[in-house]
Amino acid sequence: MKSQKTPQRYSFPMENGGRITEFFYEYEGERKRALVYLPRAVDLEPDERFPVFTLCHGGGGSENDFLGGIEGKTTLKSVFDHLIAEEILAPTIVVTPTYARRNSEDARFQLDAAQSLTERFWKEWKNALIPAVDAAFPTIADRDGRAFGGFSMGAEATWSALAWGGDAARYYLPMSGDFWVVSIKGGADHTSETCDRLIAAMEQNGLKPGDCEVFAATGTNDIAYSAMRPMVEELFTRAPWFGDAEKGGNLCWCVSDGAHSYEWCVDYMAQGLPRFFPGKGFHGEAIV
């Protein structure tokens, strides 16, 4: 499918929208920080439970990148507010953690082993972050109420979460990145083996065909396009595990004319998230 631009009005702050808060949890003796977007319905409907979208940044980034820190300096909070207010997206809690670890000596992020961090982050997500978020917020605490997505290296973390932690969430939204289980850019250089390894891990983890849905997105001017396109096209041939969403399958391939940037991810999420957690006003049609 062709990606569409998010309406410009979504970039303007909305009165009575959601809020962003800090959230801390423990993992392997380290105090980890995340940001959490809470839709307004969390405060207005205390007896309700809400789906959760975990969203991972790209290489060299942090938990602040997508939302623009606790101050909400990017447009993403406004986009979520508008999608929810217009009932395109169901009220959804969004958690932006970091897969990076802090250096105990200088408190800077360690990025030299970023690939191994994204490969392993599913363990932290599944065993520490999910239980902590479920304990702190009114979540739908089962895999049908959870989605995981990410940009660039966060997309690699997304494919890894599907492969080895897929029993924890049904929905996945990799943006501008392929699966590096064989090699970096393995989606292009080792396409068949990469897809083999993904499906084998899912099956070993107890998943069955139909147990996941994927919205994969990138741009034709994105450095990730050359690796992501052949991987997704190969996955289309891997029935019954994957099939084209436009033909009733579980894999949607969304392509823009964009480059490798967070800006384009806003469009991808505005189109992908409502497919996972639709509001009353979303029936699969384009956002206008």
Question: Cα(109)–Cα(38) distance, rounded to whole angstroms?
Answer: 26
> Which of 83-92, 102-111, 125-134, 250-259 is predicted with the least confidence, judged by mean pLDDT?
102-111
Structural domain includes residue 284: no
Structural domain includes residue 159: yes
What average pLDDT does the structure give for the chain?
Answer: 93
pLDDT at 115: 65
pLDDT in tens, 191-241: 999 999 999 999 999 999 999 999 999 999 999 999 999 999 999 999 999
- Residue 183 pLDDT grade (very low, low, confident, very high; cuts 50, 70, 90): confident
pLDDT in tens, 267-282: 999 999 999 999 999 8
Structural domain includes residue 287: no
Read off the pLDDT of each residue in 162-185 and give the average, rounded to a whole number.
95
pLDDT in tens, 76-105: 999 999 999 999 999 999 999 999 876 544
pLDDT at 104: 42
Structural domain includes residue 220: yes
Structural domain includes residue 3: no
Residue 285 has pLDDT above 70, yes or no: no
Q: How many domains does the chain have?
A: 1
Q: What range defines the domain where residue 239 resides? A: 8-276
Structural domain includes residue 180: yes
Pick the more confident residue, 168 or 112: 168
- pTM for the predicted model, two decimal places: 0.95
pLDDT in tens, 7-44: 999 999 999 999 999 999 999 999 999 999 999 999 99
pLDDT at 107: 36
- Residue 109 pLDDT grade (very low, low, confident, very high; cuts 50, 70, 90): very low
Find the CATH number of the domain harbouring 182. 3.40.50.1820
Structural domain includes residue 34: yes
